[in-house]
Structure 1
């Protein structure tokens, strides 16, 4: 399933059905250089370095065994704020569900500094994979997750929850994945541990088609404050 542009030329995120048959998340991307609004490079937002990609499955298992024991999963509590110090993200988190056509609803584009927790996923820190999406840009400028592709392994992501706890995740993978070959089950499926995915648009931009790829950041629960 592909993201579809609406009549404004912007694109909404898409996620259809169960994790095994999920459509790609397709967040707003207007490539601001074409609108003359910024001095961003012609190739758009930062792209993940090859070294930041997740390790192959077997290597990932070995790395997990070498890492300190993870905290116990937390009970459910919705997220209220996301912070990613390495790329300057400090934003409130709204709840987003599904549109009538089965796609994930995007955070409102009138607030560029707003992320959205998909309520069809677990709450951050609970056992399973929590999904938080955010726009890369809007017609007014760079949006909350514009610099997501610049993250590297080992950097922290902090999610403040409604119960007052902060779930701190450590990045273990940052990748650029094609929207037409989005590995939904791998990205969204549960590993059996508390994990987090941050997702936005990325890659090359085409008029009328938006960004070709998604930036996907994968992180594991490392600390609870």
Structure 2
């Protein structure tokens, strides 16, 4: 549903590329400001990745000073930390009737997330222009309006949950990938220095790297793939179960 909605933008992957490039520029400026000082890269990277997803989903982004920034980062981190852990309640759901601080935190974070997305959804409904989608929410709302009233139509729950899944699938995985890439890439002159030299030679410093340059950056591609082989994008897979019992072959 997300991939089909992106096609309504009319720009395909070009829109995502532009958003990522702008977020990367802001990230570089923030890192330059911290030059010579110790800083927590996990917070900086998570904010940058969150801004990319926010731009895609509802055309807004956060600055470090925004009052909504810290709560937004906290709630997505809270959801990920509580889901990723291995807990008995994932194996025995009936245990949820007993006091459970992690489950309580998860419910609180999900409630705050849903309130944020619902507020953004109402704002988009008021400013929606059919045929001119600005982001994922607009594309989903336009798809909802095109429905014929059948069982397969997009409902408001579909819209909200699809937007929520974009954050759930995109923020932590991408942030973790970037952090491990930094951790495993040797310092200059090898590793990071070699990747930087390859970028300078292929792309130069006058423009931002683009997807078109990917086939010409084998070392950078190798570093990314090697990191994913060493460490997963998420500490643990999210617990899941089939909604209905199913049998195959009788």
With normalisation by structure 2, the TM-score equals 0.24
* Greater percentage in helix: 2
* Greater percentage in strand: 1
Rg comparison, structure with higher value: 2
